[in-house]
Structure 1
Amino acid sequence: MMSDLGFTFRRAKNGDVIVEHRAKTASTLRGDKARWFLQDMDGMDFESQQQEMARITGNYKRGNERQARNHPRNR
C-alpha cells in the first residue's frame, strides 16, 4: 500500500523548488538545496519521496505521540 502523506513539489522557472502539503506551500528550496533535492527525488520511489518531503518540511512523526497523549499536561 502506498503511503501518500499529501506532499507534492514543483520546480519554479527561477530554479527554486516549492514543496507543498495539501496544496499549501510548506517550504521553498533555493540554490544548492534545490539541486540536491531534485537529484535525490530522481532516484526514489513514491513513498520515499513523501518521507523525504516530510523530513525537509519538519512535518513528520517523531515516535513519541503515544507517550505525549498520556502526559498529565495533555489530559
Structure 2
Amino acid sequence: MAKPFGFVHTERADGTVVITHRGRTAGTLRGDRAAAFLAEVTAGDAQLVMARWTGAYRFGNERAARNHPRNR
C-alpha cells in the first residue's frame, strides 16, 4: 500500500484544526478531537495520521475493483 501524501494541517487561533489534502478541505476538528489529533500528529507519522483521521487512508485499486465484472 502506498504511503499517503499531500496532507497539511493548520491550527487556527480558536483551537480549530483544518486538514487539507492537495488544497481541498478534508476535515475540520474542534475541541477535544482537535487536541487529540494534535497530540497524535506530533507523536507519529503526520501524513498517515491525517489520512486516518480524514478517512482517506485507502489508496490503491478500490475504484478498479468496484468496476470489475465479478463485483457488479
| TM class, shorter-length | 0.7 to 0.9
| Distance across 1 between alignment mates of 2:30 and 2:21 | 18
Q: Percent identity?
A: 50
Q: Which runs of no fewer than 5 residues in structure 1 stay unpaired?
A: none
Q: State how 1:1-75 maps to structure 2 within 5 Å.
A: 3=3, 5-44=5-44, 48-61=45-58, 65=62, 68=65, 71-72=68-69
| Distance across 2 between alignment mates of 1:19 and 1:72 | 36
Q: Which runs of no fewer than 5 residues in structure 2 stay unpaired?
A: none
Structure with higher RCO (Cα < 8 A, 6+ apart): 2
Counting matched residue pairs gives 70
Aligned residues: CA RMSD: 2.9
Query: Could you state the TM-score of these two structures normalised by the residue count of structure 2?
Result: 0.76
Query: Could you state the TM-score of these two structures normalised by the residue count of structure 1?
Result: 0.74
